[in-house]
Structure 1
Amino acid sequence: MIVRILGEGQYDVADNALDRLNALDAAVETAVEAGDEDAFAPALHALLEGVRTVGVAHALDSLDESDLILPPADASLAEVREMLADDGLIPG
């Protein structure tokens, strides 16, 4: 699966890492739904760091389409709220 972090690049993430990322995504979703700014920033940071940790940088010269698109690290709670689907930023 190819995951894009906006403003940063793409990462190849193995399917077996999605459960871990879904747990991190749930924390982001909970913070957004509650409007909890204090919990939001650390949760988003943890999710993006999780992608960077389990993923491998995708070739920069590749034109492959991303399977998932995540907000940039400096995204606001309101911006992420607009990006959220019914099952979070990472489906599953």
Structure 2
Amino acid sequence: MIVRIMGEGQVRLDDGHLPALNRLDDELLAELDSGDAAGFRRTLAALLDAVRTMGTPLPDEALEPSELILPAPDASIDEVRAMLTDDGLIPD
């Protein structure tokens, strides 16, 4: 799967990592629902760090279609809410 982190680029990520990412996504959704801004910021950073760590960066000149688009590290709560689907940021 190709994942784009807005403002950073793309990484190739094995589908086997989705369960771990879904746990972070669920935590992020709970923090959004409760209005926990500090938790939201911490979990968004953890989610993006996990994608960077588990994935393999694609060269900047590669233009692969992204199957998943994640917000930039400095995205606001409102920007992330606008990106959410029924499954959150990461599909189940």
Please give the TM-score of this superposition, normalised by the length of structure 2. Answer: 0.95
- 1:38-53 counterparts in 2 under 5 A? 38-53=38-53
1:68 aligns with 2:68: yes
| 1:35 Cα deviation after fit | 1.7
Separation in 2, partners of 1:28, 1:58: 26
Matched AA of 1:72: A
1:89 aligns with 2:77: no
Unaligned runs of 5+ in 2: none
CA RMSD between the two structures: 0.8
* Equivalent pair of 1:25/1:89 in contact (CA under 8 Å): yes
| 1:63 Cα deviation after fit | 1.6
Unaligned runs of 5+ in 1: none
Superposed CA offset, 1:6-36 (max 9, x none): 0000010001011111111111111112221
Please give the TM-score of this superposition, normalised by the length of structure 1. Answer: 0.95
For residue 9 of structure 1, what is the aligned residue in structure 2? Answer: 9
| 1:45 Cα deviation after fit | 0.3
38-47 or 56-65, which deviates more: 56-65
* Equivalent pair of 1:4/1:10 in contact (CA under 8 Å): yes
| 1:59 Cα deviation after fit | 2.5
Separation in 2, partners of 1:61, 1:77: 30
Matched AA of 1:2: I
